[in-house]
Amino acid sequence: MHICKTISEFRKFRCSLTESKIIFVPTMGALHEGHGSLVQMARQLAGSNGVVAASIFVNPTQFGPNEDFHKYPRPFEQDLANLSRWQADVVFSPSPEEMYPVGTSTSIDPGPLGDSLDGAIRPGHFRGVCTVVAKLLGIVEPTAMILGQKDFQQQRILRQMAMDLNMPVEVITAPTMREPDGVAMSSRNRYLSPDQRARAGAIYQALCRAQDQYRSGMRESAVLQAGMIEQITQAGLEVQYALACHAETLVPYTETAGTPCVLLVAARLGTTRLIDNLLIS
Ligand code: PAF
């Protein structure tokens, strides 16, 4: 597995390739089996001749001033071992200075999809995400990029960005990987105490119950939302939002033929913020 720490190293590697299929998985490291499923999907799509590229970069511009940028886990050697086990071919892991040299001034506006949900709670977050992913795509030049469904709003915004800015990349969304009790795999789960970890399952349980209600015919988003809030709050979590939204526009759900509904939750357990969602089919 090649490791490139600078843009010029990566470009040199890129120029040496004869195969044009490059499947890219952007990450911030602290990798878990959820990332593993994305890299393994990339491996399958790339086949034995194609190239699987991953990036490890804790992007400072997507963290707010009071967020966990400095304490975000950086187990670099373990991440490399995992990427190698999942059969990645190349890893791009630049420094913040490499990605944002002094004088960098351009950023990408995520548009209205970035105004609600996490965008409202974490001002500037999606501007940072769009900017770094646009830069990574400009460096890696993949044919396809794989994103996890767990960050539902992120994958929706990045798909829109790629389309609006005519980026020649296919955006693929991969299913959320879950622990046996249903908790969505996340690098931030490692912040949870054993007691908090035991209570975190309430989010998925609430999502599943709302999904059952929806499948039984309930279409009033206020009812779905109230049920989720009650169940998650009872487990001792602080709900930031629990919403039924249109999967494409991310606006609150109202019954309209043919448009899928996504249930989205963000909740805090102590100082840890967890998000999860279910796309109702
Ligand atoms: O989901 C993440 O890990 C990050 O937001 C991403 C897409 C790698 C951009 O920094």
User: For 30, left (φ over 0), alpha (ψ -120 to 50), or beta?
Assistant: left
Mean pLDDT across 198-207 = 98
Identify the pLDDT of residue 165: 98
Assess whether pLDDT exceeds 80 at residue 256: no
- Which residues make Cβ contacts (< 8 Å) with residue 135, sequence separation at least 6? 99
Q: CATH 3.40.50.620 occupies which residues in the chain? A: 2-174
For residue 277, what is the enclosing H or E element?
strand 272-280
Assess whether pLDDT exceeds 70 at residue 9: yes
User: Among residues 263, 271, 121, which one has the least CA distance to residue 204?
Assistant: 263
User: What's the gap in Å between 28 CA and the centre of ligand 1?
Assistant: 6
Q: 257: pLDDT confidence band, cut at 50, 70 and 90?
A: low
Atom of ligand 1 nearest to the CA of 148: 1
> Would you state the structure tokens that stand for residue 114, as one six-digit string?
């970035």
User: CA gyration radius for the chain?
Assistant: 19
| Residues framing ligand 1 (Cβ under 6 A) | 26-28, 59, 62, 129, 132-133, 151, 154
Cα separation, 183 vs 279, in Å, equals 16
Assess whether pLDDT exceeds 80 at residue 226: yes
Mean pLDDT across 153-179 = 98
Has this prediction a pTM greater than 0.95? yes
Q: Report pLDDT digits (tens) over 107-126.
A: 999 999 999 999 999 999 99
CA atoms within 13 A on the CB side of 7: 12
In DSSP terms, which residues pair with 239 in a beta bridge?
267
DSSP annotation of 252 = B
User: What's the gap in Å between 220 CA and the centre of ligand 1?
Assistant: 33
C-beta of residue 280 within 8 angstroms of C-beta of residue 263: yes
Q: Ligand 1 test: best mutation among 132, 156, 173, 277, most atoms within 8 Å of CB?
A: 132
Q: CATH 3.30.1300.10 occupies which residues in the chain? A: 187-280
Greatest alpha-carbon pair distance for the chain in Å reads 57
Which superfamily does 187-280 belong to? Pantoate-beta-alanine ligase, C-terminal domain (3.30.1300.10)
Cα separation, 187 vs 73, in Å, equals 8
Assess whether pLDDT exceeds 90 at residue 259: no
The residue whose CA has the least distance to atom 5 of ligand 1 is 129
Q: Cα(first)–Cα(last) distance of the chain, in Å? A: 38
Q: 191: pLDDT confidence band, cut at 50, 70 and 90?
A: very high
The CA distances from residue 190 to 83, 102, 180, 197, in Å, are 19, 33, 16, 9
Assess whether pLDDT exceeds 90 at residue 281: no
C-alpha triplet 114, 120, 122: angle, nearest 5°: 95
Q: What does pLDDT average to over the chain?
A: 97
Q: Beta strand 261-269 with 238-246: parallel, antiparallel or unpaired?
A: antiparallel
Q: 19: pLDDT confidence band, cut at 50, 70 and 90?
A: confident
Atom of ligand 1 nearest to the CA of 28: 3
User: What's the gap in Å between 232 CA and the centre of ligand 1?
Assistant: 26
Which superfamily does 2-174 belong to? HUPs (3.40.50.620)
User: What's the gap in Å between 215 CA and the centre of ligand 1?
Assistant: 32
Catalytic residue among 2, 35, 70, 125: 35
Atom of ligand 1 nearest to the CA of 27: 8
Atom of ligand 1 nearest to the CA of 58: 10
The residue whose CA has the least distance to atom 8 of ligand 1 is 27
Assess whether pLDDT exceeds 80 at residue 51: yes
Assess whether pLDDT exceeds 90 at residue 229: yes
- Helix, strand, or coil (residue 75): coil
User: What's the gap in Å between 261 CA and the centre of ligand 1?
Assistant: 24
Indicate if 35 belongs to the active site.
yes
